Chains A and B, each alone.
Chain A
Amino acid sequence: MAPRLLARTTVNSAILPMEAAPLLEISGVGKNYPSGQSQINILRDIELTIHSGEFISFIGHSGCGKSSLLNMIAGLTSISTGTMVFDGKPIEAPSPERAMVFQHYSLLPWLSVYQNVYEAVDSVQTDLSKAERKALTDAVLERVGLSNHVHKKPMQLSGGMRQRVAIARAFAVHPRMLLLDEPFGALDALTRGSLQEELLDLWSGDARTETVVMVTHDIDEAIYLSDRIVVFSDGPSATIKEVITVDLPRPRDKQSLMTSQTWNNLRTHLLLSLHC
């Protein structure tokens, strides 16, 4: 542990002296995609350290590579340069430790709500008995309020309910880190609001899943949910423009927050940061 701290640039260790080892360390990461004869650089020089218990948002314009970075953290896309270390080990492949919720739900349409969650639980929770796996599936579905819909197929559910299933599936495997790729982007504003609150409930209530990284387009969503907001510069060849700490106490109450000065300052700051 000590050599790694020494090897790193002194900036972070100065801010966070002698803190526990970070959960995720991204340093010097870049991503190139082949384009004909040459390569297109999507991301460059990404430096980011995420600690256990943090809620982080990635925000930026379309095509800035924030989703690519999330996919690289998931292990679904390879990195072109740099290193990405999760819990002391380099990320090489996808793992249920970093469970993911996709923008378009990615439920298996031919399986019922229950089966969609159970297949993931059954695949990952190999330490549990069959009865315990079933009980866990029932429990997470109850927590997202879908107990009365377990036998339905995804096509029979609204978008919000489908995303609840996907969130239940991700929480059910007890990931160390939950990755969300614009999870509420396809939902209407009212549904989005209630799902944001449910996500916070699940996150603060479930001690095993304490770290969340979410990609979003929505400034209010980022402020309401996050501890830190990572702002990306415009692509191609995007990088981190700044990291904003959201200094708002939890639990957060949306209504009182939205009229507070801190909220307005953050909002204005983010708007300016994203629009010039």
Chain B
Amino acid sequence: MAQMIDVIPRREHSALTSMRYWLKIIWQTLSPIVIGMLILIGLWQVAAWISAGALPTPFATASTLGELLSDPFYDNGPNDKGIGIQLLASLGRVFTGWGIGIAIAIPLGMLLGSSAPLRKMLAPVIEILRPVSPLAWYPLGLAVLHNAPKAVVFAIVITSLWPTLVNTTMGVQNIPADLKAVSKVFRFSRWRYVSKVLLPAAFPAILTGMRLSMGIAWMVIVAGEMLAGGTGLGFFVWDSWNALSLERVMSAILIIGITGLCLDRLFSLLGQRMAAWQEGGH
């Protein structure tokens, strides 16, 4: 974008040429996205044809999605709720699990990042637990918590804490030696070091970790709710499959994807804001 703005001709230009210019910018920005979307929809349509009706067409899905979105918050008892209610239920669990996860991961990562012996001690534990499939934790949560939705939150906590833990550890480990030296020479207290040096220095890495954790949490929720049932987008997908409505499944997939994208963008926006602020912008 920045380079494009530099291209604005410096000689006098009328309102018309400037409007043309902006139309061109908008076209240049949007056209690749539109073309990409058209390709996706085209492939989807072809897949629907080849599968001889097993897969719903984009148009059938669009009309189902329209119906779902026209009344997102209706509630006709436990097995028939609007898509908005399901989305909010999923988001609630995701944020609870992710929040608990990062509340564990950030302090632990700060400790690990500051202590090489602790890192050596816990690295094997982390490397063993990290690749475990989210769903493997679900029965454990169920056994301890005796509650299916809470067990899903438990699985999210366990699986979403790793990226934040690893990134926080790395961020703290990579604090420039000069800044550590400054804190020692000027005899900063532990609290002053953590609040004025460690946290701001590691913040970009922590934010990246939080973003990756959120991505994982959002992936786990759908699978978890398929197992847990009751409410949520995962339950909605499984319920729609049982009702043999693949249009609803596809609609849910679109909603899941777009929500995931929005969450991710939220974090990158936050990251850019913080970086600009740290360097003195606003």
Q: Which residues of A contact B (CB under 8 A)?
A: 74-76, 93-96, 98-100, 102, 104, 106, 108-111, 119-120, 123-124, 152-156, 169, 173
Scoring B178, B182, B196 by chain A CB atoms within 10 A of each residue's CB, the highest score goes to B182
Report A94 CB to chain B, min CB distance, Å.
4
Q: 21 interchain pairs (CB within 8 A)?
A: A76-B181, A93-B184, A94-B181, A94-B187, A96-B187, A102-B182, A106-B182, A108-B197, A108-B200, A109-B278, A109-B279, A120-B186, A123-B186, A123-B189, A123-B192, A152-B280, A153-B278, A153-B280, A156-B279, A169-B186, A173-B186
Report B281 CB to chain A, min CB distance, Å.
9
Is the beta-carbon distance between A106 and B278 smaller than 8 angstroms?
A: no
Is the beta-carbon distance between B187 and A153 smaller than 8 angstroms?
A: no
B258: interface (CB < 8 Å): no
The number of inter-chain residue pairs (CB within 8 angstroms) is 64
Q: CA A156 – CA B182 in complex, angstroms? A: 21
8 Å CB interface, B32-87 against A: none
Q: CA A34 – CA B200 in complex, angstroms? A: 32
Is the beta-carbon distance between B185 and A98 smaller than 8 angstroms?
A: yes
Residues of B near A108 (CB, < 8 A) are 179, 182, 196-197, 200
Residues of A near B186 (CB, < 8 A) are 96, 99, 119-120, 123-124, 169, 173
Q: CA A173 – CA B188 in complex, angstroms? A: 12
8 Å CB interface, B161-184 against A: 176, 178-179, 181-182, 184
Report A97 CB to chain B, min CB distance, Å.
10
Q: Known contacts being A76-B184, A173-B186, is A104 close to B178, with CB within 8 Å? A: yes
Is the beta-carbon distance between A153 and B279 smaller than 8 angstroms?
A: yes
Residues of B near A154 (CB, < 8 A) are 280
Is the beta-carbon distance between B192 and A119 smaller than 8 angstroms?
A: yes
Main secondary structure of the interface of B (DSSP, over half): helix
Residues of A near B176 (CB, < 8 A) are 106
Residue of B nearest to A74 (CB): B185
Q: Which residues of B contact A (CB under 8 A)?
A: 176, 178-179, 181-182, 184-189, 192, 196-197, 200, 278-280
Residues of B near A169 (CB, < 8 A) are 186
Residue of B nearest to A172 (CB): B186
Q: CA A270 – CA B253 in complex, angstroms? A: 75
Residue of B nearest to A152 (CB): B280
- Beyond A99-B186, A156-B280, 7 extra complex contacts between A and B, CB < 8 Å: A76-B181, A94-B184, A94-B187, A96-B187, A109-B278, A110-B200, A154-B280
B185: which of A76, A109, A119 is its contact (CB, 8 Å)?
Answer: A76
Residues of B near A99 (CB, < 8 A) are 185-186
Residues of B near A120 (CB, < 8 A) are 186
Residues of B near A124 (CB, < 8 A) are 186-187
Report B194 CB to chain A, min CB distance, Å.
13
Report B270 CB to chain A, min CB distance, Å.
16
Residue of B nearest to A104 (CB): B178
Q: CA A94 – CA B193 in complex, angstroms? A: 15
Which 3 residue pairs of A and B lie closest in terms of their CB atoms, listed nearest first? Answer: A153-B280, A106-B178, A94-B184
Residues of B near A173 (CB, < 8 A) are 186
Q: Known contacts being A94-B184, A102-B178, A119-B196, is A110 close to B278, with CB within 8 Å? A: yes
Report A131 CB to chain B, min CB distance, Å.
20
Residue of B nearest to A99 (CB): B185
Is the beta-carbon distance between B185 and A100 smaller than 8 angstroms?
A: yes
Scoring B179, B185, B186 by chain A CB atoms within 10 A of each residue's CB, the highest score goes to B185
Residue of B nearest to A120 (CB): B186
Residues of A near B280 (CB, < 8 A) are 152-156
Report B184 CB to chain A, min CB distance, Å.
4
Q: CA A205 – CA B51 in complex, angstroms? A: 87
Report A117 CB to chain B, min CB distance, Å.
10
Residues of B near A123 (CB, < 8 A) are 186-189, 192
Residues of B near A94 (CB, < 8 A) are 181, 184-185, 187
Report A110 CB to chain B, min CB distance, Å.
4
A95: which of B187, B200, B278 is its contact (CB, 8 Å)?
Answer: B187
Is the beta-carbon distance between B185 and A155 smaller than 8 angstroms?
A: no
Q: CA A169 – CA B183 in complex, angstroms? A: 12
Report A106 CB to chain B, min CB distance, Å.
4
